[in-house]
Every structure is written in C-alpha cells, then in structure tokens.
Amino acid sequence: MKARTRFAPSPTGYMHIGNLRTALYNFLMCKHDNGDFILRIEDTDQQREVEGAIQMIYDVLDQTGLHYDEGPLKSGHCGPYIQSQRLDIYHEYALKLIKLGGAHYCFCDKNDEFEIDPCHHLSQEEIKIKLQNNEPYVIRQTIPPHQQVSFDDEVYGHIEVDTDSLNEGILIKSDGYPTYNFANVIDDHLMGITHVIRGNEYIISTPKYNLIYDSYGWEKPTYIHLPPVMKDETHKLSKRNGDASYQDLVKQGYLKEAIINYIALLGCYFGEEEIMSLEQLIQNFDIKHISKAPAIFDINKLTWMNGIYLRNMSLNDYHELIKPYYSSIVRNVDLLELSKVLQPRVEKLTDINSLIDFINEPLEFDPSIYKHKKMKTTPENSLEALKLVLPLLEEFNEYDNDEKFAEEFIKLAKANGLKNGQVMWPVRVALSNKALTPGGAIELAHILGKNETLRRVHKAINDLEKNI
C-alpha cells in the first residue's frame, strides 16, 4: 500500500520553520513512496485563529512546491479537509466512543479539580436527565487504569507508558468543537493516513491516541516524531521570541529553494552533497536517517547556501530576479553589467540595496577612503593617479570591453612605475566614494558609462585638491 501522509497546521499565524519542516518531511516521505500528500486545516481552536492564516498556508505550500494531492482546494474522497466543517463527523464518532467505553460525558465545572472524574459514576439515567436539562458538558476520554500502553516510533524506538500517568483529556469541548487530541485520530483514520510525521512534543499524547484507536478496533499509523528545531543548545526556535518564520526569511532576501534545501537538513541526513533540488530531496529521503538529536538553526549556514543558489543561476535569470531591487535607480546605466558584478558577491537579496547606493550619485566625499594600506594609496598619491588616468578615460571609447580596458590601466600603471592597485583603487573610490563596491574600477566604469565616469573623476579631483 502506498504511503499517505498529512500536514495538519493550525491557522494561528505565520509558517514557523519547524512547521514548514514538518510539511516538507511529510511531502518527501509520501513522494519518495509515490504516495499522496494531504493538507488538513485544524481550525478547531477558533479563539486562536488568525485572519488570513489559512490563505498564508496555501501560499507557502504553493510557493515552496509542496503541492498537496488532496485538501481544501483540491478535493479527494476524504473531505471536507477543514476540521470546522467536520463537526458532525466528530460528534458521531464521539457517541460511538462513549458506547465502546473509550469516552464519557463529564458535567463538572471546568474549574473543578479531581484525580478521578466523578462523572464516571453517573448512571445512564442520570446522564439522560442532565442531557435533557441541557446541562453543559464535555466528552472526556476514559483511560483504563493500571495498564501499559506501548508503541514503536521510527525515530525514538519503543515507548511504553503506564495508563495511570495519563489524564482523561477533553475530546469534545462544551462549545461542540473537538480538541486536537480527538479530531486528529478520527481524521487520520478516515483519511487513510499511513504515516504520521509530527513534532516530538506529541510523543507524550500518542499513548492516549492509541487507546482511541484500540477502542474502535482501528489499525494504527506508523509514527515518526521529529526532534525540535533549536535556536541554540537550550532554546527552541519561537516566533514569540522574534525568531524568523518562512515569510520573514523571504523578506530578508532568502530564496524559497534555499530555505527548503536548508530546513531539509535540520535533523535528517541526505548524503554528503548538501545542495539539492526538491526532486533530489525526494529521491534521497529516508526516515531511518532522521536524527533523535535537536537540530540547531544556523542562519549563517542558510546565508551561505542562499549565496550558492544565487551564484548557480544563469545571469539572465539572476538579472530578472533582482530587477525589482533596481527600482530606485534613475540613472541610465548598464543594469545587466551591474547584475553581473553583483551575482558573485550577494548572499541574500536584501544585501543589494547597500551595494548599489552609489549608482545615482557617489556618496559623500571622504578622503580617508583613498588611504589603503594594501594598495599603498593615500589621498595625495590618489590625486596624482586620477590626474594620470584622466586622459586614458577621455580617449578610451570601449567602456564595455572589460578585458581591453583593464589592459590599458595595467599599461598605464607599468609605464609610470606604479602598481595596478595604485591606479585602480583611486578610480574605484572616485566613482563611488565607497570602500566596498560590487566590482572594481573597470566594472564600475562599465556600469556607469563614459560620460558619468568622467564627471565623477573630475569631481573627485576637485574634491581632493580642496581637501589635502
């Protein structure tokens, strides 16, 4: 039988990294097995639902390529796929569970505290009268005492729990909505889920879920509980603490492909190669390679990986991707050449703004930038170099021929007993008034063109003459 997995998020806000990894592993698991990936929206906690969050879930799965086979916008034979639309189903199965002895009515006040629910002792007649009188109630799970419940997890191995340690949690709340602890069992069974992949915080509740399965006589799914994604060795990633969500990472300039690739590696071994497409991740995924150890989210590793993805793009694709970041540029410059010099230097897209801030106009004059120990330049000898190179800049007309342009600079430096950097660094600074630029003198002159290059060099000469 082919695998059927499900991603069942609650629409309570942004897509956290841990949630996205859960979706990814469910997707990889079923696609590796040529199975079906189901999306189910668990919106039974109406008070926590955030407006627009369901659409956000749809958007993220679509953007990242985690396309589901069945779900709210792609019906299958197990719908509806939004839990708030399945209330009649839960009530039907809750009543069955009561008859089977796996649940009971509880009429206690929600503030009451008890070790053993006194409603266990109500007779059928007493329950009937209370229901006829419309007394508020919940339906609680009935936990059999003094028993051992065990299950095997694909990551954590054999787990055994004494039922005396389990509380009789609420299955149907007083407002008629089911809790996660009940709805997920019913839905997983009715939707034919073969493998349940979720965070390890649910390990403690799994014995209770299995008691429900046993009450109905249903086959249990294979359990795969995932270790947490950590901020550091002691703190979990948490949106509440300001840690990045998927949407935050995209806004920070990370590519969706790099994000998916990186989070796949958080807790699972795919082989020596780290840069993998979604298809390669599907091919190499193996639940046996999921680690028990928590995974630490390393933003520097993601940044490195994102840079590789950017550099691996064709120049034309890269140029189209970053065009929106050029919206502030009003000067007529060679934007394709600008993209060419940016591509090897940019690790995330939001770096671009700080690298192109000199394109419209050079930054404010700062003579200290002309001082460069390695290049052996000072404001004084930079002024001399600019005056020396000015005739070349005026006479040369092939600004788009980088190789030939560089040859002319090198010849000029050699003829005057100077190192290449003693000529090129002053020009680079003159064109930008920046210490760090996307490219050197040749590339910047190419991008700006002859007229703008000459204007800036003339201005730099004047500025230096006035200030040294």
Q: Which residues are catalytic?
A: 239
Q: CB–CB of 325/352 below 8 Å?
A: yes
Backbone phi, psi, residue 47, to 5°: -70, -25
Tokens of 311: 């550099």
Tokens of 362: 């050079």
The pairing of beta strand 195-199 with beta strand 222-226: parallel
Q: CB–CB of 285/219 below 8 Å?
A: no
- The Cα 400–Cα 450 span in angstroms is 10
Residue with tokens 């003459």: 465
- The Cα 84–Cα 218 span in angstroms is 23
- The Cα 422–Cα 424 span in angstroms is 6
Tokens of 190: 């009715």
Tokens of 285: 């995924």
The pairing of beta strand 229-230 with beta strand 36-39: unpaired
The pairing of beta strand 138-141 with beta strand 148-153: unpaired
State the amino acid at position 460 in one-letter form: A
Specify the 3-state DSSP secondary structure of 267.
coil
Q: CB–CB of 133/105 below 8 Å?
A: no
- The Cα 174–Cα 183 span in angstroms is 15
Q: How many CB atoms are located within 10 Å of the residue 368 CB?
A: 7
- DSSP calls for 164-181: GG----EEE-TTSPBPHH
Distances (CA, A) of 266 to 48, 218, 275: 28, 33, 13
The pairing of beta strand 138-141 with beta strand 170-172: antiparallel
Tokens of 300: 């520097």
Question: What stretch of H or E contains 269?
Answer: none
Total residues belonging to the chain: 468
Q: CB–CB of 103/94 below 8 Å?
A: yes
Q: Cα torsion for 211, 214, 218, 224, to the nearest 10°? A: 40
DSSP H helical segments within 252-378, as ranges?
256-264, 278-284, 299-311, 315-322, 335-342, 352-355
Max CA pair span of the chain:
109
